[in-house]
Chain A
Amino acid sequence: MFLSLPLAVPLALALPAAGDPVVAVQAGPIHLVQDGRVIEGGGTLLISGGKILAVGADVSIPAGAVVVDYGPEAVIIPGLVAADSRYASSIAAGRTASPSLRAIDQFDPYSNLYSALTGGVTSVYLAPARGRLVAGQGAVVKTGGGPQVDRVLTDSAAIHGSIAAEARRTPGYWVPPVPATVDVGLGVEQPQLPRTTMGAVVALEELLALIAGDDELAELYGPQTAADLGRLVDEGRPWRMGAASEEEVRALLEFFAEAKLPLVLDTRVSSVELAEDIARAGVPVIAAPHVRGTTDFGKTPDSDWPRLDGVSILVAAGVRVAVVPARIHRTADLRFASALAQRGGLDAAQALRSITLTPAEILGVADRVGSLAAGKDADLVVLNGAPLDMTASVLATWVGGEVLWKAHEAAATVIEVLELHLGDGHVLRPGQVLMEGGRITEVGARVAHPPGATVVRGSAAMPGMIDALGHLGLEGSRKAFSSRFDLKRLLEPGDYADRRVARGGVTTVNLGSRDSSGNSPTMAYKPAGSEVERMLIEAPAAMRMTWTSSIRSEAGDAVRSTLKKAAEYKQKWEEYEKAIAEWTPEAAKEKDEKSEEGEEGEEGDEEKEGKDEEKQDNKKKKKKKKKGEKEPARPVTGEWTGTVTHDEDPSPMRLRLRERELTLEGTLRVEGLHDLVSLTGGRDEYAVTLSGLSSLGWLELTLERDDQKLTGKGRIQGVEGPEAVIELTRSSEDYPVAQRPERRKQKPAPKIKGKPKPPGINPELEPIRRAMAGTAAVIVSVSREDEILECVLEFEKYGIQPVLFGAENAYKVADRLRGRVAGVLPALQAVATSARTGTRERNRYAELAKVGIPVAFHSSAEEGAVELATSAAYAVSHGMSPQGALRALTLDAARMLAIDDRVGSLRAGLDADLLLLDGSPLQVSTSVLRVWVNGKEIR
């Protein structure tokens, strides 16, 4: 500790007060503005007690300091200083010269000016009022800060005034005589200067004379004006005077040069012609970029056309210029104003200075704000891009060492790379991707940067890779999936292995069972996803089948029979869909009317229908009630209303019951009994017994259930006489108090006569039906060339383009497969050698890809999928086109599996699965740096 002390020299300069915690803020480039310095490549700011302790590239962080790291992409600049703001009132005093009007009186230290903080503006000038020759005293305050922050930078920054047109409409001044009597009269209004520029100059001269002691003028300008203004002049306050035209600027320059008083020009850039004069007079200027908004201003060359070069001309002449937002913009748009000045020719460093240190200097508060240096206030702005890059936005605004505003936790991420591989073979150089809400919303050379977006820069990016057939997620299971198995049940948010595979670049896996005998479905999903709902892409995504058989003559039989069944199944659905499209309830009605005439016929129909139903669902039929047979005992949950008769006097009664595993609870209300009786009891088949305590005594009910009726007897213990007779009918099946869902059979939708019935979904055949429609895939294992051709032909009959799995000899018939298969998943080993070919190697992937047959990589492994990129790189190293390999890993794989509407390429609307690479993809030297799945980074 002692040894390290001499090293911490910058710390020693401004040691924190004891007890104040130290905060270290880290980011990428830090623009100090002081002496134009920029710490490129990352630096640290040490903050304590609201002040900056040290700033530099290698500042040693003291033990116990809180470290806030915005990452290497973030940029830190000093809190912006607005030399003018909208936060002042427009109500001026009655007098033309009102030096005692203090802008600071309008400042509310109890509220933060969030509208400024959102734009990174941390200090603002408050004008006392506008539209007076001397409106009052301006102030400079911080736009936010806790109670410990001294938010008032100066309560008297300048004598604020104007000789522009706005100040030449000063109304006459009138002192109301109180009380107005016959003797006193109402008095008359006293006219006030100025009405013209020369009037303004005369008034200024008179004010100086007044200060010098000309009492005659006291009545004209108010009794206290001389003292108030005199004090300000003695204190050396600058005169911040507004001027709108060249003449006014010239008049001000001349007057103040003669009076030897400090002047700050508050002007539009029409003063460019006078740049040299202003520079010679050493007068600083507060200027806004001269933009007009979309308003008309006159069509002649003399009209006040927008121009942006004003600031740069002034700066070039040697004038200190503080840039303020144009009238049409908000105070928070200060950075935009400076960017406009930059467009007018100002260099970037000057542009940044014109909204930070220069205004701080002109306002006399540069000792506290305006730049980042040890000892100054810790006011800083964290941006996600270069300070004057208008696509960059504010991530956080710090005032007095505290974060007062930060961008909302935006789901938006922008990736900016030099080389953006879209997956479909196109490359954007440079390219940007905007990801919002888990999806890609924009892809292009430059995309929108929503405020507060996380911006990531790198050299290359590509879509997440797809393992066309893998096992990640099976957890070692070797069992085949039943076609009835709901594959979604395998989904769970990514664990370590899943994330590790994703970080290797494989974001989508087409999960199939290891056992590939027989037909089994696969599921396309994202193992590393964090939300179950968004993890699933398609289930089932494909149906796996096997053509090859150990008995060669039987090869393909199983596939053929499945396809045939599937075709029949499809036919049924088509018929149903056609029927339902033609059917309307009215048509059914007509049919009803017709059939009423021939009753028998209809019955026959019904029977037929019944039979159909039987075929579909045997169980239903079994449950069907036969006439005369008692309904099976069902729960009695619900509301029962009826009467209770006692002494031949029926009174209404309501019973509400809830049944759970034959035990009952509920409530009873009976007329004449003024309390709600809580009941408990049980049910034994049809017998229901209930009891509870009422105000009259213990109450017991013995009831018998018959369909929708409950009948029985009730008695109250201790009450003599006959038992009461209870008759209740069910009025509802809901237990109104218990809002918990009851497991109950859904009431079947009322049957509409004549409405076509859906044929029911067969999970075994459904994926194949979808494959026929082109929305799912069939992966068929086949190897020999004759079998391949036969297989393809068979599938062609049903309109399916299969994905061939293995297909070792496909290269021999490649020409005849083109356009007839969705793709091929060749064997894992890309390079095939054999003694027969000598040293001539075959590349299984390249040879197919070359002739236009899509190929895809698959791992047939769980975590082994992580090597997919290496496998592809290996294929490239043996002659495969890198572009083709990239497509095989992304879009071609997605197309084969018909999931290219979700993944596989970078396109607006698709899932935001993206890899950030440190070099061109498919170079062996390239590695995956960062990975996003559904817009979320996988760490």
Chain B
Amino acid sequence: MDPQRPYPNSPMIERILRVGTLCALSAATLFGAPALGATPATLGDKYAVKAGKVITMTGDPILNGVIVIEGGRITAVGTVDEVKIPWDAEVLDVPDMVAFPGFVEAHSSKGMDRPNETIDTVPFLNIRDSIDPVGFYFEDSLRWGVTTINVQQGNQCVIGGVGMVVKPFGMTVEELLVRPNSGLKISAAPKSGKSRATQAQALRNAFGDLRLHLETLVREKRDGDDRARREALYQGRDLSGERGKGRAMTGAAWTVEGLELVPRGEIDEKQEPLLDLVEGNTSVWFYCGAAMDVRLALEVAEENGFLQRTTLVLDDSCWKAADLIAEAGVPVVLDAKLMHVERDPVTGDEIETFVPGVFQEAGVTFALASNNSTTESLWYQAAVCVSHGMTREEALAATTTVPAGMLGLAGQVGELSVGAHGNVLLFSGDPLSVTSFVEYVVLDGSLVYDRSKDVRTRYLLEGVQPENTQVLEEPPVDEVDEQDEDDDGDDDDAADDDGEDDK
């Protein structure tokens, strides 16, 4: 399914083109790719990392370990003695650094030009059309060691679009892509302009409408009416092969009798993703803005048979519903705010609750999420959890293997094991220490970040003016309201000047 793009000529696309041109003009380091240490990997490239300590997340840390990556995948992990580095591999030998698999962001709405669609129910939209590969967010994610990100529509929706899993490096969406369909976004919390009741109504009605639509199609088919077929042909839909055949509905919670009579291509494009959901083929990221939303989310998921494929995305106040969540057995992505603060309505006293602790006690599988790419990035979240008494293993797992499992990428990302993506972070010290920096990032077997060449960091920490740039008296106000536009403003202009010189 390839729905029409809502913004076929969006400024985003233009920007990609413009950036592409500028890259050729030797200003590449200033855009999206903070420190290009190497050209992007091609299949068959070999890369090896020798580190003082390797935290694999699957077993005990390996001292003096070696990670061999071939064709973007890890082929060997072990001690220097155990693993033979291929003779033709490029070797990153950092004996005083710690290798780590890279953090996994289970759910984020950053990295898009706009996180929300106005219309309530839009399951036919795809995040890929909205992703901004050169967004500052991705550059910063790399800097803080987040190597896998599930980008989902924002929380202001009823049924949002389909999200995707990306890595934070690349010039095009295709380069970023890790997994094209990471599931639908649904929200139980009222979007702006809705009350909780109207939100719940819209949510239930979406499935009611699907059911009515399918029943109508079946009835029409039985009556010998081919309105749907004519409409499909008129709209130029594919009715060949599988699309031309009917298939019985396999919903776990409810089914429509006789759907096998209706060729799948004749089902309304806008309804089809929901049918997929009810048939149990799609994962769901269900947002709850308050504890009271959890009941609705679980109820809707149960009623429509996708509870098993649901992950709840929670606001910090949702800890009150931890028992309910534990009973339903669904995993959750926690809010970046780990400490929930409220006032006692009678006494007015402040009450603080450490949210991950509540879920840990209730036995709920949880992943941590970052608020933004810098100040509350995943390492920080994990470190805060450790400071509140969680074990290192649990805290680190909540930022690596647990979210990887939620994304259906267990064994692929979030760990250093044979067969996994060749994503390796090299920390100057312990990953949870404030004094440690991400020194290198290897993504799919190629070095994509080197802190010593990170011009932004160097400018910030050492005051080193990036090459080919000049300080402007007044930063120009950029034309669009896109969040990261301003950050790039200075460099943009500087690069433009260069380009003119070259001409």
B292–A100 touching, CB < 8 Å: no
Closest to A404 in B: B346
Among A91, A108, A114, A178, point to the contact of B198 (Cβ < 8 A): A91
B 212-224 binary contact with A (CB < 8 Å = 1; else 0):
1000000000000
B195–A108 touching, CB < 8 Å: no
B345 touches A (CB below 8 Å): yes
User: Main secondary structure on chain B at its contact with chain A?
Assistant: helix
Chain B residues whose CB sits within 8 angstroms of the CB of A178 once the complex forms: 119, 122, 124, 270
A 180-193 binary contact with B (CB < 8 Å = 1; else 0):
01010000000000
- Which chain A residues numbered 66 to 112 have a C-beta less than 8 Å away from chain B? 89-93, 98, 100-103, 105-112
Give the CA-CA distance A128 to B194 in the complex, in Å: 12
- Which chain A residues numbered 104 to 143 have a C-beta less than 8 Å away from chain B? 105-112, 114, 128-129, 136
B205–A100 touching, CB < 8 Å: yes
Shortest distance from the beta carbon of B217 to any chain A beta carbon, whole Å: 14
Shortest distance from the beta carbon of A596 to any chain B beta carbon, whole Å: 64
B4 touches A (CB below 8 Å): yes
B346–A105 touching, CB < 8 Å: no
Give the CA-CA distance A183 to B234 in the complex, in Å: 10
Chain B residues whose CB sits within 8 angstroms of the CB of A616 once the complex forms: none
B197–A128 touching, CB < 8 Å: yes
Shortest distance from the beta carbon of B271 to any chain A beta carbon, whole Å: 11
A 394-434 binary contact with B (CB < 8 Å = 1; else 0):
00000000000100000000000000000000000000000
A224 touches B (CB below 8 Å): yes
Among B4, B124, B197, point to the contact of A103 (Cβ < 8 A): B197
B4–A223 touching, CB < 8 Å: no
Closest to A218 in B: B212
B193 touches A (CB below 8 Å): yes
Chain A residues whose CB sits within 8 angstroms of the CB of B205 once the complex forms: 100, 224
Shortest distance from the beta carbon of A95 to any chain B beta carbon, whole Å: 10
What bracket does the count of chain B residues touching chain A fall in? 20 to 34
A91–B201 touching, CB < 8 Å: no
Chain A residues whose CB sits within 8 angstroms of the CB of B209 once the complex forms: 223-224
B195–A129 touching, CB < 8 Å: yes
In the complex, how many residue pairs between chain A and chain B have their CB atoms under 8 Å apart? Answer: 74
Chain B residues whose CB sits within 8 angstroms of the CB of A136 once the complex forms: 197, 201
A114–B204 touching, CB < 8 Å: no
B6 touches A (CB below 8 Å): yes
A107–B195 touching, CB < 8 Å: no
Give the CA-CA distance A287 to B84 in the complex, in Å: 86
Chain A residues whose CB sits within 8 angstroms of the CB of B212 once the complex forms: 223-224
A93–B201 touching, CB < 8 Å: yes
Among A102, A109, A129, A176, point to the contact of B119 (Cβ < 8 A): A176
Chain A residues whose CB sits within 8 angstroms of the CB of B208 once the complex forms: 100, 223-224
B320–A89 touching, CB < 8 Å: no
A628 touches B (CB below 8 Å): no
Chain B residues whose CB sits within 8 angstroms of the CB of A107 once the complex forms: 292
Chain B residues whose CB sits within 8 angstroms of the CB of A90 once the complex forms: 195
Chain B residues whose CB sits within 8 angstroms of the CB of A108 once the complex forms: 290-292
Give the CA-CA distance A242 to B195 in the complex, in Å: 21
Chain A residues whose CB sits within 8 angstroms of the CB of B292 once the complex forms: 107-110
B296 touches A (CB below 8 Å): yes
Give the CA-CA distance A105 to B300 in the complex, in Å: 12
A179 touches B (CB below 8 Å): yes
A89–B235 touching, CB < 8 Å: no
Q: Known contacts A102-B200, A224-B208; decide if A110 and B321 are in contact (CB<8 Å).
A: yes
Shortest distance from the beta carbon of B274 to any chain A beta carbon, whole Å: 13
B196 touches A (CB below 8 Å): yes
Q: Known contacts A109-B292, A176-B119, A178-B122; decide if A101 and B198 are in contact (CB<8 Å).
A: yes
Chain A residues whose CB sits within 8 angstroms of the CB of B193 once the complex forms: 91
Among A105, A112, A176, point to the contact of B201 (Cβ < 8 A): A105
B 98-124 binary contact with A (CB < 8 Å = 1; else 0):
000000000000000000000100101
Give the CA-CA distance A102 to B234 in the complex, in Å: 39
Give the CA-CA distance A179 to B194 in the complex, in Å: 22
- Which chain A residues numbered 892 to 912 have a C-beta less than 8 Å away from chain B? none
B241 touches A (CB below 8 Å): no
Give the CA-CA distance A109 to B196 in the complex, in Å: 13
- Which chain B residues numbered 238 to 289 have a C-beta less than 8 Å away from chain A? 270
B 168-205 binary contact with A (CB < 8 Å = 1; else 0):
00000000000000000000000001111111110011
B195–A183 touching, CB < 8 Å: no
- Which chain A residues numbered 168 to 183 have a C-beta less than 8 Å away from chain B? 176, 178-179, 181, 183
Give the CA-CA distance A114 to B193 in the complex, in Å: 26
Closest to A406 in B: B346
Chain A residues whose CB sits within 8 angstroms of the CB of B201 once the complex forms: 93, 98, 100-102, 105, 136
A183–B321 touching, CB < 8 Å: no
Shortest distance from the beta carbon of B158 to any chain A beta carbon, whole Å: 13
Give the CA-CA distance A265 to B122 in the complex, in Å: 40
A89–B195 touching, CB < 8 Å: yes
Give the CA-CA distance A110 to B345 in the complex, in Å: 12
Q: Known contacts A105-B200, A178-B122; decide if A91 and B346 are in contact (CB<8 Å).
A: no
Chain A residues whose CB sits within 8 angstroms of the CB of B59 once the complex forms: none
Chain B residues whose CB sits within 8 angstroms of the CB of A106 once the complex forms: 195-197
Chain A residues whose CB sits within 8 angstroms of the CB of B198 once the complex forms: 89, 91-93, 101, 129
Residues of A within 8 A of B (CB): 89-93, 98, 100-103, 105-112, 114, 128-129, 136, 176, 178-179, 181, 183, 223-224, 405
4 nearest CB pairs, A to B = A89-B195, A105-B200, A91-B195, A108-B292
Q: A91-B198, A110-B290 are in contact. List 20 more A-B contacts (CB 8 A).
A: A89-B196, A90-B195, A91-B195, A93-B198, A98-B201, A100-B201, A101-B197, A102-B201, A107-B292, A110-B292, A112-B345, A114-B345, A114-B346, A129-B198, A136-B201, A179-B3, A179-B6, A223-B209, A223-B212, A224-B209
A-B contact pairs, 29 of them (CB 8 A): A89-B195, A89-B196, A91-B193, A91-B197, A93-B198, A93-B201, A100-B201, A100-B204, A101-B198, A102-B197, A102-B201, A105-B196, A105-B197, A105-B296, A106-B197, A109-B292, A110-B290, A110-B291, A110-B292, A112-B345, A128-B197, A129-B197, A129-B198, A136-B197, A178-B119, A178-B122, A178-B270, A223-B208, A224-B212
